[in-house]
Amino acid sequence: MLLPALALADLRVAGAALPDGSEKVAESRYRSAKSWDETIRFYRQIYPARYTRRPIADQPSVKAVHIANPDARPGGWEGLTVYEAQGEVRIFVLVKGK
């Protein structure tokens, strides 16, 4: 059985779910169609507490958090960095090397 949020994830990169409507902007980098709060809420639903989160920045102009994948395998996603800058929410997918 899929979680409701997981069922809505229409895009996966190296196994990592991206919010519905995300679009690729560069290699391993995606723009979320959702706001910062909606994107973070999406990841809280998809990836529970065992996926550790580490704040990287929390300033008026930049917010960023890193989500680590405890089950990372070669070729799979090792972590996600979600950040908001200049009104855009972006997601960087870190893929584990072989």
Tokens read off for 65: 């958090």
Judged on CB neighbours under 10 Å (0-12, 13-18, 19+), 86 is: exposed
pLDDT of 4-48, one tens digit each? 444 445 689 999 999 999 999 999 999 999 999 999 999 999 999
Return d(Cα 86, Cα 56) in angstroms, integer: 17
- pTM for this one? 0.85
Q: Is the pLDDT at 3 greater than 50, yes or no?
A: no
CA–CA dist 2, 19 (Å, integer): 15
* CA distances to 8, 58, 87 from 16, in Å: 13, 24, 23
Query: Are the C-beta atoms of 64 and 81 separated by less than 8 Å?
Result: yes
